[in-house]
Amino acid sequence: MLQDLSSCLNVRTDYLLNGDAPHNNHLRERLTFLAQELEKITADLPVWE
């Protein structure tokens, strides 16, 4: 389930980042910022195996 969601998000993100719409620079900046924040939040979580 999580893998499917991740794949879906990756496809959507690729679509957003590779398009030519004028607002894409803003979207790219927001996605980059959110990804960095998510990494900070999850960095200290234990790894589940």
φ/ψ of 40, rounded to 5, equals -60, -45
16-48 pLDDT, tens digit each: 555 556 667 788 889 999 999 999 988 888 877
pTM for this predicted structure: 0.46
Q: In the chain, where are the structural domains located?
A: 1-44
pLDDT of residue 4: 61
SS (H, E, C) 10-41: HHHHHHHHHCCCCCHHHHHHHHHHHHHHHHHH
User: In this predicted structure, what is the pLDDT of residue 29?
Assistant: 87
